[in-house]
Amino acid sequence: MGSPTAPVQEGDLLAGKYRVEKILGQGGMGVVVAAQHVALNQRVAMKFLLNSALENQESVGRFLREARAAVQIKSEHVARVSDVGTLENGAPYMVMEYLQGQDLSQVLAARGPLAVSEAADFVIQACDAIAEAHKLGIVHRDLKPANLFMTARPDGAAMIKVLDFGISKAIGENHGNSGAVTATGMIFGSPLYMSPEQMKSAKDVDHRTDIWALGVITFELLTRTELFVADTLAGIVARIVAEPPTPLRSLRPDAPVELEVLIQRCLEKNRELRLADIAELAVGLLPFAPSHCRPIVERIVKVVKGAGASISLMPPPHPTMQFGGQTNAAWGTTNSGAKKKSSAAPLFIILGALVFLGLAGGGVFLATRGKEPEKKAATEQPEKPVEEANAKKPEKTTEPEKTAEPEKTAEPSLL
């Protein structure tokens, strides 16, 4: 039916083939409608710019970038684009698959914090789309819960679709605006999910800005709390650039320590210390995700690392790393807990060596005792001096019998 201010109404025919059913959403720059392809009898979502936005070259460029990026990415976790064109008024449009469900910001508002396994599942699915985008040299730059849409597969299982590649950037591409905030005050990206480098210069970001955003999203899915909150945009920027992020387990004590460390790795302010690529994030999340996520992670690794790569070849997150422990630019080194655990191994080795030496010593002693009488008989001579000398030897050889040495043969019962 539409509203009095809507640019289209129910029943309007757009581009000569799409019949408008209802308006799904409208913003300052564009509108999305549900429509029916009259020839194919197929329901689709149709997105186009408002007349007022056509004079804004950045808005037109953003719209076209979204269409180009969505067409290139073949992952099932991106909303498919089936058609692009221009309406009668000159406004560009794109036709996408029609999705039923909710975005993750709506899911959080309705349900509260997600279970660890569910959050890991959803972020891994998003990683699948972003891995392919990164492989094509496309950085999303606007990942947030509102751009992760939860729909359902035919079997009812939840499926995540990544939306809105409108401010996506091809690596090496320069869009003319060097800063994240333009002279008109327009922010390219959502401040709460922007990396420190994106805050400083939107043109200089690379794929690691998306890793930062996914770390913030994972934190929010698990806590239903925005990570960097302030009363003003300047306050948000200051917190992101200068303040350490809140530890996950301070708000979600039941979360695994390793998951907390993984999120911290996503949120390194120096991107050189951040996870190297989206595959490392997916592999790090896999231990906390449902089993059906493994094929997705395997595909992500192959997309990012190459066809011959596998999960087993990826550097895994350190299983004993504790939050706040010493880490390095890879997956972390050691912590005090790991050192204490490893110190037990040398102790068992030493005890085992002592037991072995004890048994070996006991065996040599018994063998020596068994051969001693033969040696003595063979060396006996009629001469008295020799007999006297031999008579003294048993006194020395019998000394061990007075000790507890033979009792070493009972040591195997202690093993």
pLDDT in tens, 77-91: 998 888 988 888 888
Q: What is the pLDDT of residue 242?
A: 92
pTM of the entire predicted model = 0.71
* C-alpha to C-alpha distances, 115 to 123, 145, 220, nearest whole angstrom: 12, 16, 12
3-state secondary structure of 96: strand
Distance CA 259, CA 276 (A): 17
Distance CA 45, CA 33 (A): 6
DSSP classification of residue 181: B
Distance CA 287, CA 317 (A): 10
Distance CA 115, CA 39 (A): 44
Q: Are 35 and 19 in contact (CB under 8 A)?
A: yes
Q: What is the pLDDT of residue 316?
A: 52
The active-site residue out of 103, 142, 164, 277 is 142
Handedness of CA 150, 48, 33, 13 (dihedral sign): negative
Q: Are 255 and 249 in contact (CB under 8 A)?
A: yes
Element of type H or E holding 26: strand 18-26
Distance CA 13, CA 289 (A): 45
* pLDDT digit string, tens, across residues 11-69: 999 999 999 999 998 877 888 999 999 999 999 999 988 888 888 888 888 888 888 88
3-state helix/strand/coil string of 297-332: HHHHHHHHHCCCCCHHHCCCCCCCCCCCCCCCCCCC
Segments in the chain below pLDDT 70: 1-6, 166-189, 313-415
DSSP classification of residue 153: -
* C-alpha to C-alpha distances, 30 to 1, 8, 74, 140, nearest whole angstrom: 17, 12, 25, 19
Residue 120, phi then psi, degrees to nearest 5: -60, -40
* C-alpha to C-alpha distances, 331 to 124, 264, 319, 326, nearest whole angstrom: 19, 11, 10, 11
> Is 142 one of the annotated active-site residues of the chain?
yes
Distance CA 298, CA 310 (A): 6
Element of type H or E holding 46: strand 42-49
Structure-block tokens of residue 340: 């204490």
Q: Are 139 and 133 in contact (CB under 8 A)?
A: yes
Instruction: Count how many residues are written for the chain.
Output: 415
Residue with the two structure tokens 């640019």: 7
CA atoms within 13 A on the CB side of 258: 16
Planar angle of CA 229, 235, 237, nearest 5 degrees: 90
* pLDDT digit string, tens, across residues 140-176: 989 999 999 999 999 999 999 999 886 666 555 554 4
176: closest CA among 65, 80, 98, 73? 65
Q: What is the pLDDT of residue 127?
A: 98
Q: What is the pLDDT of residue 248?
A: 97
